[in-house]
Structure 1
């Protein structure tokens, strides 16, 4: 099925060299070196990477009625594009929107991140695995602490603007180089396909809990510290904005969500 989907997107974009980088239940993500409308000798301004671009494609679902499927695909694609535009206007680090083809389920966006020395993409998951292989002193060193606090801070920026990510895993968080000469990073959130506007404390707590569980799953040896630093960063922005009561609400609800999660695990 995936081969048919890839062939379909290649027909929609016949003049683009597309490299598949990830495939989920809702979308396929490609990298291309060609901008959707600028010639190759003109580089776009305001982007971190002017040589690579992300193409996200939502394929049609054959089990849905054709007209309904078109409507859903168009709506969800346009909704994600609008959210990316909103995040940019709020100065929240996420891929910038470049172009939209809602009818065909395609979003063009900024490519964020870089290749680690081992060749892997700089998702939080890959970066933590990379430093963990260097030994415990690196895995729980000051740089790891700083990065995890930045992650928490970035999530708090979303939540304080009443936006929930909906799929917060360490694969959907990306490290971006801030310096070519030293290990200095910023953190960006990606993949907002399941995101929504919400002022519910429950939704914010679930967002954090999903990431906590992802870290436990992929980095079990050091996840307790990573999650502690994550919450330190999250709390720090609430403190900066003098939203201590709001933080306490999230903290209390997060404890309740964790308890529900443990009960589900015990019951199987």
Structure 2
């Protein structure tokens, strides 16, 4: 890991300090105070997402995949910036040949010091009866963000509570942002949208099982509100997605029963 961090610092030159803040299966996420095109601008914090080389892949295949996925995520972020109502990181720079994406930083810390993604937020508030209304409002807002994304014919591809970040606005108001679009794609298929919803439902169930029923109900409430605003009340588009979502659910249950 130290070698990777050193390699990133060498690539960015010695004048760009970086701090590793997250490590996933495919990429590492760094924090820096230096803007890629204006090194003297150090009053903000930026995120650098880096896809390192995978030793288990053939070098040429690895380069091709890195370029494809980095470009795909960057194009998606650029497209999302043109959509009304979508909250996502702002794309600042992209180097697809070396696997780097430079983007704006969002989110902050919860009162307990944890990073403010949806997963940590729900854990932090699970035993506070006075926070129920706030949790409900946050989840409705999250569901609405997913609905707006789907109404614009984009699917996330990896919707988990860790890939939804909350940014504080006011005393008890949190604004949700969708992040990590490495598996995202343009899709008009209701199947893909149903799978997106199912993946998030399973993620909520696996990490917050005691409250999952209400959490997922509030998410769907926000999701439906986005479709109602975009297409009109009781739209056939929403009916089709929810029908496919139920079909995906049933397939998932059958696989769980078979083992």
User: What does residue 13 of structure 1 align with?
Assistant: 12
Matched, 1:206 2:195: yes
Alignment map for 1:108-187 (pairs within 5 Å):
108-133=102-127, 135-138=128-131, 141-179=132-170, 182-187=171-176
**Which of the numbers 218, 232, 242 marks the counterpart of 1:229?**
218
Matched, 1:35 2:35: yes
Count of paired positions: 255
CA distance in 2, matches of 1:7, 1:262: 45
CA distance in 1, matches of 2:212, 2:49: 31
CA distance in 1, matches of 2:97, 2:125: 42
User: Secondary structure at the residue paired with 1:212?
Assistant: helix
CA distance in 2, matches of 1:64, 1:213: 30
Give the TM-score of the pair, scaled to structure 2: 0.93
User: What does residue 266 of structure 1 align with?
Assistant: 257
Aligned-pair CA distance for 1:67 = 2.9
Structure 1 unaligned blocks of 5 or more: 44-49
CA distance in 1, matches of 2:177, 2:159: 12
RMSD between aligned alpha carbons? 1.5
User: What does residue 191 of structure 1 align with?
Assistant: 180
Aligned-pair CA distance for 1:34 = 1.6
- For 1:99-142, what per-residue CA distance to the aligned partner results, in whole angstroms no more than 9, with x for missing partners? 11111100000100011111111100111111114x2342xx21
User: What does residue 89 of structure 1 align with?
Assistant: 82
User: What does residue 51 of structure 1 align with?
Assistant: 44
Aligned-pair CA distance for 1:18 = 1.5
- For 1:147-199, what per-residue CA distance to the aligned partner results, in whole angstroms no more than 9, with x for missing partners? 111111000111111111000000000111222xx211211100000111111
- Structure 1's 8 and 39: CA in aligned 2 closer, same or farther, altered over 3 A? closer
CA distance in 1, matches of 2:6, 2:56: 19
User: What does residue 46 of structure 1 align with?
Assistant: none
